[in-house]
Structure 1
Amino acid sequence: MIRKLTDQDHDQVLAFLSEEPSINLFIIGDLEAFGYSSEFQEIWAEFDEQNTIKTVLLRYHQSFIPYAKGEFDTSGFVSIMKKYNQPIFLSGKSDIVAKFEAFDDLILGKKQVTFFAECLTDEFLSVNDNDVKIKKASLEDIDQIIELRRSIEEFHMRSDARDILVQAMESNTARTYYTDEDGVITSCVSTAAENSLSAMIVGVCTRKEYRRKGLATAIMQKLFQDVLEEGKTLCLFYDNPEAGRIYKRLGFKDIGMWTMHR
């Protein structure tokens, strides 16, 4: 049986998701921040005969994230997703997303597969010895952050990226640290989907003319230290082997593959 969840289901769904807190940080973070009754967010679950959750599907704006343990009623969830505008933005563990990809009538966005890594320790972090001045962004900095991200070839920016960043900063589910020169942001690193257990590192970017100066690395060290000191696990995606080597030097370890259709 699949049904939409309400506040009364929170303890049960959180217990289900917390068995893999890093993999489920987006769902956990969105539920903690926006609950079960907002216009832009909904969550459904499939229950077994013992009324135990076996699968969940979160909708956040145009994006869907499924999570399951074992087999589940994929066609039932596809029927729900098809009620919304297509193409569908879908992301999750690669083996789970693959089950949705088998449905030809579900129009999905462009596919990207990345490594999923997590960091549990700050023992590999070094002190910022380049005297780089790092600042924390406010709402006034959002347009510059979006402009910088749009200038990065590898980034796939959604049309509603600014609205989502504003909402995330206002709800304290995201933060951005940056460096600047003469009031212009030169490099920045952000978190997303921050919750009581974990935080995702996103948007690591530097203007072309300021690269290879160690700016992004210095920002990451500061951001990682602050988040880890709050008792949270750090997670990130990467598909660039060179970036992967940098992250692993900072203490990250691969824990799986993640597929995004956007």
Structure 2
Amino acid sequence: MIRKLSGQDHDQVMAYLSEEPSINLFIIGDIEAFGYDSDFQEVWAEFDQHGRIKAVLIRFYQSFIPYAKGDFDAAGFASIMKEYGQPIRLSGKTDIVDQFEAFDDLTLGKKQVTFFAECRTGDFLNAGEDSDAIKQAGIENADQIIELRRSIDEFHVGNDAREILIQSMEAKTGRTYYTSENGIFTSCVSTAAENSMSAMIVGVCTHKEHRQKGLATAIMNKLFPVILAEGKTLCLFYDNPAAGRIYKRLGFQDIGMWTMYR
């Protein structure tokens, strides 16, 4: 049976998700921040005959993330997603979301498969002498952050990116550190879906004219100890081997694969 969740289900669903806190970072963070009654967010779960959760599906605006530990009703989740229009913006653990490719009537966006890595220690970090030049962005800097991200060819920046960025700052589920020159952002690194257990590193980017200077690495060396000191695990995606080598030098280890359809 699949049904929509409410606050009364909170303890049960969080206990289920917390068994893999890094993989469920987005779902945990969104539930902690926005609950079960927001216009832009809904959560469903599949239950077995004993009332135990088998799988979870969350909608955040027009994006969906499913999670399950074993077999689940993928067709039932697909039916829910189709009610919100197509193509479907879907992401999650690769072996879970790949199951939705079997439904011919479900239109998925462009597929991207990435490595999923986490970091639990700051032993490999090294704050540089120029760390004072790295600042934390405020809501007033949202346009500069979006402008920098849109200048990066590899980035897909949606029309709702600015709204989501501001919302994450207001809800304290995301923060951005940056460098700038003459009022223009030269590099930035953000977190997203921050929750009581973990934080996702996103939006690692450097302006084309300021690359090969170590700016993004310097920002991460300043930002990461702040997050780790709060008792949170750092998580991130990467598909670029060169980027992967940088992250591993900072203490990240691969824990699985993550697929996104955009």
TM-score scaled by length of structure 2 = 0.99
1:50-103 deviations in whole A, cap 9, x for unaligned? 100010000000000000011011111111111111111000000000111111
Letter in 1 for 2:41: Q
Identity of aligned residues (%): 74
What is the aligned partner in structure 1 of residue 137 from structure 2? 137
Structure 1 residue 166: Cα displacement: 1.0
TM superposition shift of 1:130: 4.0
1:211 is aligned to 2:211: yes
State the Cα RMSD in Å: 0.8
**What code does the residue aligned with 1:248 have?**
K
Aligned to 2:60: 60
Instruction: For residues 89-120 of structure 1, give each alpha carbon's deviation from its aligned partner in whole angstroms, at most 9, with x where no partner exists.
Output: 00000000011111110011111000000000
Instruction: Give the conservation status (yes or no) of the 8 Å contact 2:46–2:56.
Output: yes
Match of 1:126 in 2: 126
Query: Secondary structure, in 3 states, of the residue corresponding to 2:245?
Result: helix
Deviations 1:111-168 (A, max 9, x none): 1000000000000001213455110000110001000000000001111111111111
Contact 1:126 1:221 in 2 (8 A): yes
Q: 1:155 is matched with which residue?
A: 155
Structure 2: give runs of 5+ residues left out of the alignment: none
Partner of 1:192: 192
Alignment of 1:28-39 (within 5 A): 28-39=28-39
Residue 249 (structure 1) aligned with residue 253 (structure 2): no
Q: Which residue matches 1:182?
A: 182
Mapping of residues 223-242 of structure 1, within 5 Å: 223-242=223-242
**Runs of 4+ in structure 1 displaced over 2 angstroms?**
129-132
Distance 1:43 1:260 in 2: 19
Letter in structure 2 aligned against 1:215: L
Q: Aligned letter for 2:232?
A: K
Q: Structure 1 pair 70/185, CA: closer, same or farther in 2 (3 Å)?
A: same
Instruction: Tell me the TM-score normalised to structure 1 length.
Output: 0.99
Name the count of aligned residue pairs: 262
